Chain A
Amino acid sequence: MLDFEALTKSSGEWLKGVGPESDVVVSSRIRLARNLDRFPFPPQTSDAIRGEVEAVLRGPVVEVLPPGSMGYVRVDPLETLDRQFLVERQLISREHSEAKGPRGAGIGPQESMSLMVNEEDHLRMQVLRSGLALDECWQEINRIDDELQQQVNFAFNEEFGYLTSCPTNVGTGMRVSVMLHLPALVMTKEIQKVFQSMHKMSLAVRGLYGEGSQAMGDFYQISNQMTLGKSEQQIIKSMQQVIPDVLEYERRTRREMVKDNRSKLHDKVSRALGILQSARTITSEETMHLLSSLRLGINLGLIDGIEIPTINELFIHTQPAHLQKLSGTPMESSDRNAARASHIRLRLAPVEPTSEGE
């Protein structure tokens, strides 16, 4: 069983803010979609069949979880709040939280892996790492997939590869994504150029939490769209070829901003810190926005005394389900705004602003 109490107080390894290129890259993730060959896909079937699938997969999933894993949890009996909590934690997808019937999730050590049973496909497995670490993600998930294939037959045909509920995932069943923090490109509106060039490379760009195109807190996820006709290594390699250009673009823009407008930028990030340290009520959206500025300020050396992992953790811990789990009671939105402000004040309290700049 999953220990929600402990989970609430901790945070995942992938939020540590270490790892290669972590000034811009928050995390790397690879997920694989797999299905059992003799069962209908979860969205188009009955609870009875979903139950059979869950029973077939639960054992193998538990068995392949590495030592130190947090364990397997049945998602369908959970309260809405707990399911939402797991979504905020990125341990299950929103689709999995809202799906129907028997389903579960195996959670690996330090929240760096999760295996969802009966999401849109019978099995969705993902590995998460801090920073830019796609090769490590692939090694780990490939190993897990190999081990599972010793025990179960996945639906596969030689022409179309691994068969999935949605044809957009067929073939490798693989989605490779990298979460980037791009505040400078957003501020200068250069981000549009990134969208265009990613689009040309058939890569998708999505905002972190917001729906639609408006990203909250300047976080963008870049991922492959095509899953058929390329090998896993080719897909990973093509991501590894384009990501460094985006990172360099963001860094160059940051440097130019500091060079041309240091005092204005210093003012902006210091004000962000000021509001976060003193607000009595704050929305999730404003929090994202200000934390993003603060993260930029820390990475540029304009703010000392706060660590990146603290900021990364606040992005997660200030979301609705987390606030309610932390306080132990369900709360309306206005109460949450107050609780959010108080949580942030507490976490950012002991900070001394930097010397006067110049």
Chain B
Amino acid sequence: MSRARLTRDDTMKKCMRCTKPATLHITEIQLGQAQVVHLCETCAQKYLSSTEVGGMPSMQMEDDEAVSESEAEGVALAAEEVEEDSPEVSCGGCGITFKQFRSVGRLGCPQCYTSFHDDLQSLLESIHQDTQHVGKCPPQTSANTLRHHELMRLRSELKASIERENYEEAARIRDQIQVIEAQAASSGESPAE
């Protein structure tokens, strides 16, 4: 686990990832040891996006983007898309078809969200620009799920603060993410990915 402190100045140091001058200096405190990472703005964005625990820049940064959470689920669910062509799938709960939903704009019952999962997922993506709930959950929700939601919420905040070029905030959020990931690891779960 690490704690980052971020300073910004124009010393003549070079970015550790490329050849541009480093303008952001991130002090990582890890196992009681401080290490300073010097980066240019572009590389700092990538560095902060990557939330691997304790990774130094030389060990990561291969991927451009932060991990996409829904990827694994997406693959598993793609299998269900086979039914796509078969004429009319109707909801087992209420009997309406997706076509009927499209014409009235209202779903028939809560189970519709499972029955028309894939079609709804792309619709929700276009309405909300997101497909994963990260807000309030019912009282019986497991700690595992809550942590999963919290991680996804923080990752979207991280992305937003990097887009706003607020690197101080980004570093803080990244630390929070690492804390939660470490909790998940120590309670025997694989971190949600």
Q: Do A and B bind each other?
A: yes
Residues of chain A touching chain B, judged by Cβ–Cβ distance below 8 Å, are 35, 37, 39-41, 43-45, 120, 142, 145-146, 149-150, 153-168, 170-172, 174, 202, 226-232, 234
Docked CA distance A30–B127 (Å): 20
Query: Chain B residues near A40 (CB, 8 Å)?
Result: 93-94, 108-109
Closest to A163 in B: B110
Question: What are the nearest 4 A-B pairs in CB distance?
Answer: A229-B130, A161-B133, A155-B110, A228-B128
Q: What is the minimal beta-carbon distance from B166 to any residue of chain A, in angstroms? A: 13
Interface string of B88-126 (1 = CB under 8 A from A): 000001101000000011111110011000001001100
- Taking a contact as CB atoms under 8 Å apart, the answer to whether A149 and B138 are in contact is yes
Query: Chain B residues near A164 (CB, 8 Å)?
Result: 107
- Taking a contact as CB atoms under 8 Å apart, the answer to whether A231 and B127 are in contact is no
Q: Can you report 10 A-B residue pairs in the complex whose CB atoms are below 8 A from each other? A: A40-B94, A44-B109, A153-B138, A156-B137, A158-B149, A159-B73, A159-B131, A166-B105, A172-B135, A226-B129
- Taking a contact as CB atoms under 8 Å apart, the answer to whether B131 and A228 are in contact is yes
Identify which of residues 59-83 in chain B touch chain A, using a CB-to-CB cut-off of 8 Å.
73
Given contacts A158-B145, A167-B124, A230-B156, contact A174 B109 (CB under 8 A): no
**Most chain B CB inside 10 Å of its own CB: which residue of A44, A149, A153:** A44
- Taking a contact as CB atoms under 8 Å apart, the answer to whether A159 and B132 are in contact is yes
Closest to B96 in A: A44
- Taking a contact as CB atoms under 8 Å apart, the answer to whether B135 and A231 are in contact is yes
Q: What is the minimal beta-carbon distance from A206 to any residue of chain B, in angstroms? A: 17
Docked CA distance A163–B106 (Å): 12
- Taking a contact as CB atoms under 8 Å apart, the answer to whether A229 and B156 are in contact is yes
- Taking a contact as CB atoms under 8 Å apart, the answer to whether A226 and B130 are in contact is yes
- Taking a contact as CB atoms under 8 Å apart, the answer to whether A44 and B106 are in contact is yes
- Taking a contact as CB atoms under 8 Å apart, the answer to whether B128 and A229 are in contact is yes
Identify which of residues 138-193 in chain B touch chain A, using a CB-to-CB cut-off of 8 Å.
138-139, 141, 145, 148-149, 153, 156-157
Q: What is the minimal beta-carbon distance from B115 to any residue of chain A, in angstroms? A: 12
Docked CA distance A41–B113 (Å): 12
Given contacts A158-B133, A160-B113, A226-B129, contact A165 B124 (CB under 8 A): no
Query: Chain B residues near A170 (CB, 8 Å)?
Result: 113, 124, 128, 133
Q: How large is the interface on B (under 10, 10 to 19, 20 to 34, 35 or more residues)?
A: 35 or more
Docked CA distance A156–B132 (Å): 12
- Taking a contact as CB atoms under 8 Å apart, the answer to whether B128 and A41 are in contact is no
- Taking a contact as CB atoms under 8 Å apart, the answer to whether B106 and A229 are in contact is no
Q: What is the minimal beta-carbon distance from A231 to any residue of chain B, in angstroms? A: 4
Docked CA distance A164–B73 (Å): 22
Given contacts A166-B106, A170-B124, contact A231 B134 (CB under 8 A): yes
- Taking a contact as CB atoms under 8 Å apart, the answer to whether B106 and A120 are in contact is yes
- Taking a contact as CB atoms under 8 Å apart, the answer to whether A165 and B107 are in contact is yes
- Taking a contact as CB atoms under 8 Å apart, the answer to whether A234 and B153 are in contact is yes
Q: What is the minimal beta-carbon distance from B2 to any residue of chain A, in angstroms? A: 25
Docked CA distance A146–B140 (Å): 12
Closest to B127 in A: A168
**Most chain B CB inside 10 Å of its own CB: which residue of A45, A165, A228:** A228
Q: What is the minimal beta-carbon distance from B163 to any residue of chain A, in angstroms? A: 14
Query: Chain B residues near A157 (CB, 8 Å)?
Result: 113-114, 133
- Taking a contact as CB atoms under 8 Å apart, the answer to whether A154 and B138 are in contact is yes
Query: Chain A residues near B138 (CB, 8 Å)?
Result: 149, 153-154, 156
Query: Chain B residues near A146 (CB, 8 Å)?
Result: 139
Q: B106, B120, B133, B156: which contacts A165 (Cβ < 8 A)?
A: B106
**Most chain A CB inside 10 Å of its own CB: which residue of B120, B127, B137, B148:** B127
Docked CA distance A166–B113 (Å): 11
Q: What is the minimal beta-carbon distance from B98 to any residue of chain A, in angstroms? A: 12
Query: Chain B residues near A120 (CB, 8 Å)?
Result: 106
- Taking a contact as CB atoms under 8 Å apart, the answer to whether A228 and B105 are in contact is no
Closest to A172 in B: B135
Closest to A238 in B: B160
Q: What is the minimal beta-carbon distance from B66 to any residue of chain A, in angstroms? A: 15
Query: Chain B residues near A155 (CB, 8 Å)?
Result: 110
Query: Chain B residues near A171 (CB, 8 Å)?
Result: 128, 133, 135
- Taking a contact as CB atoms under 8 Å apart, the answer to whether B127 and A37 are in contact is no
Q: A142, A149, A163: which contacts B113 (Cβ < 8 A)?
A: A163
14 additional contacts (CB under 8 A) given A43-B104, A174-B135: A41-B108, A41-B109, A44-B104, A44-B107, A149-B138, A157-B113, A157-B114, A163-B113, A166-B107, A167-B124, A170-B113, A172-B135, A229-B130, A230-B135
- Taking a contact as CB atoms under 8 Å apart, the answer to whether B136 and A229 are in contact is no
Query: Chain A residues near B153 (CB, 8 Å)?
Result: 230-231, 234
- Taking a contact as CB atoms under 8 Å apart, the answer to whether A227 and B128 are in contact is yes
